[in-house]
Amino acid sequence: MSWRAAPISREEISAAAVAQVKYYKQRCGIAAFQRTDSGLIFVPAGIVGAIVAPAAQAANLVRRLPLVVPAIVNRQLGRRTTWTLLTAPVPSHLRRSARTKEVLDRCGASLVDEGDEILLPSPGDPAHRWHGAAPSDRYRPSPVSIIAALSSR
């Protein structure tokens, strides 16, 4: 006789998503919200900054940095795997900088525009997961330090 795990119900996923949103808000200081139609969890870029980079570059960067970088692994069918590196808010001078654009372009990376939505790991969504463990506090590194590390690679 073979045992097979029962599929997770939509209600269980929804309850887990509500708990995850609460964790993101209370423990991580991330103003997360859940889309009821999809059950996915998002945070608007602004208070949280983000840099999206190819997986190989991001993994190398996270290994080299002497600080913790909350990183989301984004595996999408038919597309390259990227990582979203969560940062402190991105200052406007950094967004307008030609040097920043040059560094990001050379690495195949990009800044998430203010007001865009960042997809956070959500229950029932195996395509997005935390690299290592989910953040356990409100710390996010400066985007300046991430850009500097990318430029010195």
Report which of residues 126 and 45 the model is more confident about. 45
pLDDT in tens, 47-87: 999 999 999 999 999 888 888 899 999 997 677 899 999 99
Report which of residues 46 and 7 the model is more confident about. 46
| Rounded percentage of the chain residues whose pLDDT exceeds 70 | 93
Radius of gyration of the chain (CA): 17
- Can you tell me the mean pLDDT for 80-103? 95
- Can you tell me the mean pLDDT for 102-129? 94
| Confidence at residue 1, expressed as pLDDT on a 0 to 100 scale | 43
Among 59, 69, 85, 81, residue whose Cα is nearest residue 127: 81
| Confidence at residue 82, expressed as pLDDT on a 0 to 100 scale | 95
The residue count of the chain comes to 153
| Confidence at residue 42, expressed as pLDDT on a 0 to 100 scale | 96
| Confidence at residue 138, expressed as pLDDT on a 0 to 100 scale | 94
Contacts of 140 (CB under 8 A, 6+ apart): 48, 49, 70, 86, 87, 88
Given a cut of 60, whether residue 5 has pLDDT beyond it is no
Given a cut of 80, whether residue 25 has pLDDT beyond it is yes
